[in-house]
Amino acid sequence: MSTRLTQALEFANYRVTLNNQQAVLRAKTQSLLSYSINGGTFTIDRTLLNFCKLLLEEQQTEAVLLDIYNNPIKIEVKSFYDEVLSRYFEVTNDYYAEYEKLRKSRKVHKVLDLNEEGK
């Protein structure tokens, strides 16, 4: 096999690994952006954060939010907002750091954080 073809196949293998690793990273982020309280579960996203911020601006102390099951869950707005906001930044900052590390990795073993011997 010519060197050029070998290099092309190696690069294809790297791209497949990189794409899957990025999808795995997204899955991890998605999984961490979930928060359960008072018997309900919420996905932490910008909509939830904005709505909580609005409730705070409207000086609401308690509110009923619909969770991912569309069940009504009563929450204490300030503490809920603080918690979801802090989790959001914690998770997205980690996501950013890991994403940047992946983006700069140009070999399969670097994508996986292994040395060249695969250890």
Partner 1 sequence: MKKANNGRGIIMFAHNNAEIDYFRLAVVNSFLIQRHLGIKNITVVTDSASLDYAEKSLGKATIDSAINNIIVVEKDKKFKEQNIRTFKDTSHTAKTLSFYNVNRCDAYDLSPYEETILLDVDYLILSNTLNQCWGHNEELMMNWRYQDIMYERKDPTLNRLNDFGITMYWATVVYFRKTPYAESFFNCVKHVKNNKQYYQDMYKWKGHLYRNDYSFSIAAHIMSGFQDRGIPQLPTTLYKTFDTDDVHSAIDDSTMIMYLEKPRSPGDFMLTKWSGVDLHVMNKWAINRISEDMLSHAKRT
Q: How far is the CB of 38 from partner 1 (least distance, A)?
A: 8
In the bound state with partner 1, the residue whose beta carbon lies nearer, of 54 and 90, is: 90
In the bound state with partner 1, the residue whose beta carbon lies nearer, of 59 and 118, is: 118
Show contacts with partner 1 in window 47-106 (CB under 8 A): 68-69, 71, 73
Using CB atoms within 10 Å of the CB of residue 37, give its burial: 0 to 12 exposed, 13 to 18 middle, 19+ buried. Answer: middle
- Contact status, residue 34 vs residue 44, Cβ threshold 8 Å: yes
Rounded distance, CA 24 to CA 33, Å? 14
Rounded distance, CA 108 to CA 115, Å? 10
Q: How far is the CB of 57 from partner 1 (least distance, A)?
A: 28
| Interface mask toward partner 1 for 13-32; x: CB under 8 A | x--xx-xxx-xx--xx-xxx
Q: Which stretch binds partner 1 (CB under 8 A): 1-9, 52-60, 74-82, 110-118?
A: 110-118
Is 33 among the residues that bind partner 1 (CB under 8 A)? no
In the bound state with partner 1, the residue whose beta carbon lies nearer, of 56 and 95, is: 95
